Structure 1
Amino acid sequence: MNLSPEQKIAGVLTPLFALRSEEDLGIGDLAGLREFIDWAAGVGFKLVQLLPINETGGDNSPYNAISAIAIEPATLQLAPGAPEDLTQADFYDVLAQFNLRKLRSGVVKYKQVRKLKRALLEKAFAHFQAQAADAPEFTKFCAKEKTWLDDYAFFRALMEENGGSEAWDHWPDEQQSLGAAREWLQEQTADAQERFAQRERFFRYVQWIAYGQWTVAKSYADERGVALMGDIPFGVSYYSADVFARPEQFVLDWSGGAPPEPYFKDDEFTQKWGQNWGIPLYRWDMMRSTDFDWWRQRVRGVRRIFHVFRIDHVLGFYRIYAFPWRPQRNAEFLPFSEREMLAHTGGRAPHFAPRDDSSDENAQRNQREGEEYLRMVLEAADSTRLVGEDLGTVPQYVRPSLQSLGIAGFKIPQWENTPDGRVIRGSEYERLSVTTYATHDHKPLRAMWEEAVEEESATRDQARDDLNKVAQFAG
């Protein structure tokens, strides 16, 4: 699909879980996405942007996935024949055990939805196991994706051993590292090892189904003339298969995030200390020694499914704000003064890593290293278009750097002003850019409008000001 900056297009951002339909199983899924693609094509949109589709953990956040490559099973389309191993009898036998009317009403009830989807996938897998003495396509998939799939399947099977928890540092000592856990498995009985191997095979099977369904979804979008836009968070969860399997490539005692931001007036911690996302920092030196193979795998996975993808917090490639405590302690640190904070961290303070931009030398080095990493991403992306979310505290060199690499940046109209405070009109934007009035961090337009017309609201004036600026941007 030709996505040239010389041709303006319009699109829409939607969370996949929100694309509900009368026949869904309590959550938006790939069947709903196809319907949404039809709608988008019908009204003239050329792009549908989604949040990250990676498998999530206990908090259900797509930006805190338990794998940087594995796909979330809960949003797969599951119906008789989808996958082909799911029989009609098994499908309705499972559904009879759940209150579908309740699941289909209101917000997504993740615990129940996951239980339902898992039961259906288990039925499909059992049928697959019984029928497929030889499954060449599955075998081919497992061989092709082996470098990440084996570690992921092992991690997921270990999660089952630990009540479904991804918090690997709370598992038994003999399971808290990849090497130790494999030794532990070798010490189990032959029957226990076989059961464990079957659970690994199940998780490989689910990913085979997932990648197959998403590949079909991309082809469907192609046919309708609609590009699918994916999302790669810059960081990866501390509690992920990636960190568990490759701890040497991450700095685990610092948490990545963003510096203090006064815009978020309803978030006291963000205003005072910043956003603490809990993501480990990267050890770029170690990643460079492997030719960034993990990043290349990650990008290839997204490239197979999307026509264009966005990197959330692309600024992190240049430098990232780091906290010496994990997010679970944010409430503890909120009331502290700077002196009290330092007393509780042993003198370690939040700062930009690997270095700030306080000197020309630092800024030039950050730019040089950031461009090295982004060129690697572009190389792995091949012809797939890349968008960098470059919002927040943005060094002066970042946007020219992205432009020089051919990476479109993000623009929020209410934040794009001239030095004298004039809102920049959309007609003045450079061609290589993506403009949106909100990201996943912001309230949707409807919520802004509702706040603007409320008589009493702490954010009413801000909402009115933002809407006025959006109108000025549009002309």
Structure 2
Amino acid sequence: MKNITDYTRCSGVLAHVTSLPSPFGIGDLGPDAYDFLRFLADARQSIWQILPLGPTHNALSNSPYMTASAFGGNPLLISPQLLFEDGLLTKAEISEYPDLAPYRVDFDTVIPLKGRLLKQAFSRFNPEKFSEYEGFITQTQWLMDYCMFMALKNKYPDKAWYEWDTTLAQRDSKAMAQMAETEQEQIAYFRFEQFLFHQQWSRLHAYAKDLNIQLFGDIPIYVSLDSADVWGAQEIFLLDRKTCQPTHVAGVPPDYFSKTGQKWGNPLYRWNNEDKHIRKQLLHWWTLRFKAIFEQVDIARIDHFRGFQEYWAVPAHHKTALKGEWLPGPGAEFFREIFAELGKLQIVAEDLGEITEDVLELRDELHFPGMRVLQFAFDGNIDNTFLPFNYETPNTFVYTGTHDNDTTVGWYMSDRIDDEIRQRTKRLANRKIHDHHGIHHDLIYLAMSSTAVAAIFPLQDILGFGSDCRMNTPGTHSKDNWTWRCSKEFLTPDISTWMQELTELCGRSKPHEKKKSTKTLKSEITKS
């Protein structure tokens, strides 16, 4: 694959799939996702960035960063409309789906409604009519562990895997074989879910390629404790062998987002174990993980890239992340071994927060682009590395904000910054200091006109939305986290034209294929 530095200037939009319009209460992989891709193409955007795609509905929260699997797809993203087109649902079944709020995902309502439709589709599923099915189940190495894990989650509702019967928690071969026999129907159902996700995502990815739009995914460095990943590969995680509970967990020390740091609670990898078998297993697991993500996307961001150089280890019994310690990560050799197996991958390093020189050296040694966020740029320090005129290399992805930031309008109007910062922001954007309208336009222009190879904007910033449309507030369990949706009415030709003109002005436009007819599109997204 090409290194990102070989690419011309480009820009794109950050919007998770769940945030898209759809008639089913949550964004999915159906017609509205294709409409969104055409919206991006009309706006001359080259990248659609999304959040992790893993299954969230059996995790502790609806966060895409705390999933039941780092490999699997979220069944909530499966499109009922496409299941109807494939003959797995009836018109009546999807027509009976209730009208839900277009601006928020009500997960408590959507989860059982979507689940009911998927079970109806499963009752009609004939694998022989889907030519890709056999290859998918035989070639997908993580699939059986995931399906067995999910079947056991149904068998032991409201229990984490380390609370199951000991023989199953510790994967005794006899118990596992018996379970695979008695839970055949459940395992087949979860296999069916993953096949549907794979099929619908592959179609969408192919359409994005037709429009010359790259899909930009996300690789959280850590996985959820209560996941198929940890249950299926316990030897590579830092767990107490008797309780299967982590002795130390992941997090970060105090930073911009939290005065006491963030205790994430994810189990840590056994990077520093001297056992060659453990090291081999770690490399194998991560190679499979990179392979899986790059089958879904063209570019991937490694969330918390610092953890590969050094990671913050917090004793599991501590209430906060204050009393942790930095321990060495696997470093550049780890990536070289993966690239030797998979080839060069298009990876972006999330290098935000408190970053040391050795982390930057690792990023640069691997030729990974880093990230710059404009909301962090205006503190009055002329040497602030987030200011566009301080970018040392174009090998950078610049953002107005990320999914963890407030929207640009919300940030600008909040009490987290003062009038001095507001004035400095306007002056650096060469705009009138007392004109508080269009601050999102100002920061988008600053990013677009910078030297960064890619400029990425949350959809909320393109639309000029306020704090009520924020995607996530880190370190909180707000019921509003991860729920924002964009109604179709906001994705207007005027917005698309404005983005197109600015993108072309700043030399970030790439040619896109002409918009395909509705008839052609329908045939593409409904063929099995």
Structure 2 residue 144 is matched with structure 1 residue 150? yes
Change (3 A) 1:185 1:411: same
Q: 1:307 to 1:118 in 2, by over 3 A?
A: same
Deviations 1:39-84 (A, max 9, x none): 1111111111001111111301101111010000101212264572
Distance (Å, rounded) in 1 between the aligned partners of 2:85 and 2:5: 36
For residues 228-307 of structure 1, the aligned pairs below 5 Å read 228-251=215-238, 252-261=246-255, 263-264=256-257, 270-272=258-260, 274-284=261-271, 285=273, 286-290=277-281, 292-307=283-298
* Aligned residues of 2:384 and 2:390 also touching (Cα < 8 A): no
Name the residue aligned to 1:183: 175
Within 2, Cα distance between the matches of 1:240 and 1:118? 20
Aligned to 2:364: 403
Residue in structure 2 matched with residue 357 of structure 1 by the alignment: none
Instruction: Kindly indicate whether residue 194 of structure 2 is the aligned counterpart of residue 207 of structure 1.
Output: yes
Paired residues in the alignment total 416
Q: Which amino acid aligns with 2:172?
A: G
CA change 1:401–1:462 in 2 (3 A) is: farther
Do the aligned residues in 1 keep the contact of 2:21 with 2:27 (CA within 8 Å)? yes
- What residue is the counterpart of 1:122 in the other structure? 119
**Structure 2: gaps of 5 or more residues:** 239-245, 431-442, 450-528
Structure number with higher relative contact order (C-alpha < 8 Å, ≥ 6 residues apart): 2
- Which of 144, 167, 174 in structure 1 is aligned with 2:160? 167
Amino acid aligned to 1:183: A
For 1:469 and 1:278, locate their aligned partners in 2 and report how far apart those are by CA, in whole Å.
42
Shift of 1:467: 4.3
Residue identity opposite 1:75 in structure 2: L
Q: Which residue of 1 aligns with 2:88?
A: 86
Q: Distance in 2 between matches of 1:149 and 1:445?
A: 40
Larger displacement relative to structure 2 (228-237 or 286-295): 286-295
**Which residue of the partner structure matches residue 464 of structure 2?**
none
**CA distance change for structure 1 residues 132 and 302 in 2, over 3 Å: closer, same or farther?**
closer
State the Cα distance separating 1:133 from its structure 2 match.
5.8
Give the corresponding residue for 2:28: 29
Quick check: 1:300–1:380 contact (8 Å CA) kept in 2?
Answer: no
**Number of the residue aligned with 1:359:** none
Instruction: Give 2:17's aligned amino acid.
Output: L
Distance 1:289 1:17, change over 3 A: same
Q: 5 Å matches for 1:378-389?
A: 378-379=339-340, 382-389=343-350
Check 1:124–1:351 CA distance in 2 against 1; reply closer, same or farther (3 A cut). Answer: same
| Whole-Å separation in 2 of the counterparts to 1:198 and 1:294 | 28
Per-residue deviation, 1:197:
0.8
Q: Quickly say closer, same or farther: Cα 1:132–1:212, change in 2 above 3 A.
A: closer
Give, in angstroms, the shift of residue 8 of structure 1.
Answer: 1.1
Instruction: Give the deviation of 1:4 after TM superposition.
Output: 4.4
Cα distance between partner residues in 2 of 1:387 and 1:38: 25
Aligned with 1:323 (options 314, 321, 325): 314
Q: 1:58 to 1:281 in 2, by over 3 A?
A: closer
Q: Name the CA shift for 1:458/1:387 in 2 (closer, same or farther; >3 Å).
A: closer
Distance 1:465 1:184, change over 3 A: farther
Q: CA deviation at 1:373?
A: 1.9
Task: Kindly indicate whether residue 327 of structure 2 is the aligned counterpart of residue 353 of structure 1.
Answer: yes
Structure 1 residues 139-179: Cα deviation after superposition (integer angstroms, max 9, x where no partner) = 2211101x31111000000011122x462223344442322
Contact 1:254 1:324 in 2 (8 A): yes
**SS in structure 2 at match of 1:198:** helix
Counterpart amino acid of residue 54 in structure 1: G
- Tell me the residue number matched to 1:471: 429
Q: Which residue identity does 1:201 align to in structure 2?
A: A
CA distance 1:51–1:75, change in 2 (3 Å):
same
Shift in CA distance, 403/77, structure 1 to aligned 2, threshold 3 Å:
same
Asked if 1:53 is matched to 2:53, the reply is: yes
Residue of 286, 307, 332 corresponding to 1:371: 332
Contact conserved, 2:84 with 2:90, CA < 8 A, in 1?
no
Tell me, yes or no, if structure 1 residue 141 matches structure 2 residue 136.
yes
CA contact 1:154–1:200 (8 Å) conserved in 2: yes
Q: Which residue, out of 108, 113, 136, partners 2:110?
A: 113
Q: Deviations over 1:72-120 (max 9, x none)?
A: 010121226457241325xx23653x5x22x234421112212122112
SS in 1 for 2:268: strand
TM-score by length of 1: 0.79
Contact 2:60 2:66 in 1 (8 A): no
For residue 242 of structure 1, report the CA deviation from its aligned partner.
Answer: 0.8
Amino acid at match of 2:215: L
Cα distance between partner residues in 1 of 2:388 and 2:151: 50
Q: Return the offset for 1:432.
A: 1.3
Distance 1:465 1:417, change over 3 A: closer
- Tell me which protein shows more helix as a share of its residues: 1
Measured in 2, the distance between the counterparts of 1:179 and 1:469 equals 65
Is the 1:5–1:431 Cα contact (8 Å) retained in structure 2?
no
Listed as ranges, the gaps of 5+ residues in structure 1 are: 265-269, 339-348, 355-365, 452-456
2:408 to 430, 436, 445: 445
8 Å Cα contact 1:322-1:350 kept in structure 2: yes
**In the TM superposition, what is the alpha-carbon distance from 1:378 to its structure 2 partner?**
3.7
CA shift in 2, pair 1:20/1:37, >3 Å: same
Distance change in 2, residues 1:135/1:447 (3 Å): same
Instruction: Supply the distance in 2 between the matched residues of 1:43 and 1:412 (Cα, whole angstroms).
Output: 22
Partner of 2:11: 10
AA aligned opposite 1:211:
H
Indicate how the Cα distance of structure 1 residues 377 and 11 shifts in structure 2: closer, same or farther if over 3 A, else same.
Answer: farther
Amino acid at match of 1:108: V
Give the counterpart letter for 2:222 in structure 1.
G
Cα contact 1:413–1:470 (8 A) shared by 2: no
Distance 2:10 2:138 in 1: 39
- Counterpart in the other structure of 1:65: 67
Measured after TM superposition, the shift of residue 458 of structure 1 is: 5.0
Determine the C-alpha separation between the residues in 2 that align with 1:168 and 1:462: 52
Residues 413 and 469 in structure 1, CA contact (< 8 A), matched pair in contact too: no
CA distance in 1, matches of 2:340, 2:55: 25
Query: Percent identical across equivalent pairs?
Result: 28
Could you tell me how far apart the structure 2 residues matched to 1:469 and 1:437 are? 16
For 1:248 and 1:468, the matched residues in 2 are separated by: 53
Counterpart residue identity of residue 13, structure 1: L
